[in-house]
Amino acid sequence: MILAILQARLSSTRLPGKVLKDLLGQPMILRQIERTRRSARVDRLVVATSVDPSDDRLAEVLEAAGVEVFRGPLDDVLARYIGALETWPAETVVRLTADCPLIDPQVLDATIDLLRDAGADYAHCRTQEVGYPKGQDVEAMTAATLRRAARLAATREEREHVTWGIWSRPDRYKVVRLMPPREWGHVRWTVDRPDDFEFVTQVYEALYPANPAFTSDDVRAFVASRPDLANWGGEPRV
């Protein structure tokens, strides 16, 4: 069993409520879930949000759309992951964040395959500013690794950032990275700010109507045809 856990909340500071912002007629988080569900490897996808009243609306929207939801502490995100894993037991856990409506199912599957093929504890496709575009982040780990990280977590960073105590401890875990065809670590496809959301809206409006399963190559081709989008917000998009 491969369980994908998508962490989400409405109280983001830079763009509050972003996960429910309308993206071509659907909340942004449902657009991301639509793309994630194209994975050939993931068996189950759940959203881990908080028990804070600020996330009640998010849980309602997800449950109405048939998405399974686990609710746990607002600030202890690692506890949410462990709670979701206990509710839906799995051998492999995939960590996703809800600011990635341009998630690539092929990168998702390749990261999971790398974890298995390398016999690793943890696999990822991006670290800091190196790897695949920011906004296509995928982290896969064995359930045993996640549980061990939770037992050993001793800092706020480890509880809040879930995998902090894994990727920062290569002496403790076997960590592998999926290498991109070329370096795209400077590329920004995430949604943290209003200009990010406008960029993603432009992409969806251009590509989704003709092909809901548009690829990363399609996004790159579109942005290449629109030089005005290349450095929207002052950071590279392509």
Q: What is the pLDDT of residues 101-118, one digit of tens each?
A: 999 999 999 999 999 999
Band the pLDDT of 182: cuts 50, 70, 90. Answer: confident
Our measurement of the distance from residue 40's CA atom to the centroid of its chain's CA atoms, rounded to an integer in Å, reads: 16
**pLDDT, position 231:** 67
**pLDDT, position 50:** 97
* Residue 76: Cβ within 10 Å count: 19
3-state secondary structure of 169: coil
SS3 content of the chain, % helix, strand, coil (to 5): 40, 20, 40
Q: What is the pLDDT of residues 24-42, one digit of tens each?
A: 999 999 999 999 999 999 9
**pLDDT, position 234:** 47
Q: List 124's β-bridge partners, or say none.
A: 139, 177
Structural domain that includes position 144: 2-188
Residue 184 belongs to a domain: yes
Q: State the average pLDDT over residues 219-228.
A: 88
pLDDT of residue 52 exceeding 80, the answer is yes
Residue 25 belongs to a domain: yes
Q: What is the pLDDT of residues 115-161, one digit of tens each?
A: 999 999 999 998 877 889 999 999 999 999 999 998 998 888 878 88
pLDDT of residue 100 exceeding 80, the answer is yes
3-state secondary structure of 100: coil
pLDDT of residue 76 exceeding 50, the answer is yes
Residue 233 belongs to a domain: no
Q: Domain total for the chain? A: 1
Residue 200 belongs to a domain: no
Residue 194 belongs to a domain: no
Closest to 33 in 3D by CA, of 58, 16, 1, 56: 58
**pLDDT, position 118:** 98
Band the pLDDT of 235: cuts 50, 70, 90. Answer: low
**pLDDT, position 165:** 87
- CATH code assigned at 182: 3.90.550.10
The residue among 229 and 107 whose pLDDT is bigger is 107
Residue 114 belongs to a domain: yes
Closest to 122 in 3D by CA, of 180, 176, 43: 176
Residue 164 belongs to a domain: yes
Please give the structure tokens belonging to residue 60. 């309602």
pLDDT of residue 236 exceeding 80, the answer is no
Q: Write the CA distances from 114 to 40, 83, 167, integer angstroms.
A: 14, 26, 15
Helix H segments across the chain? 28-36, 56-64, 77-87, 105-117, 143-152, 156-160, 164-167, 194-207, 216-224
The residue among 2 and 164 whose pLDDT is bigger is 2
**pLDDT, position 237:** 59
Residue 217 belongs to a domain: no
Angle in degrees, CA 71, 113, 85, rounded to 5: 20
In contact, 73 and 80? CB cutoff 8 Å: yes
Alpha-carbon gap, residue 201 to 28, rounded angstroms: 10
What are the counts of helices (DSSP H) followed by strands (DSSP E) for the chain?
9, 11
Question: How does DSSP assign 31-83, residue by residue?
Answer: HHHHHHTT-SS--EEEEEEESSGGGHHHHHHHHHTT-EEEEE-SS-HHHHHHH
Q: State the average pLDDT over residues 59-87.
A: 97
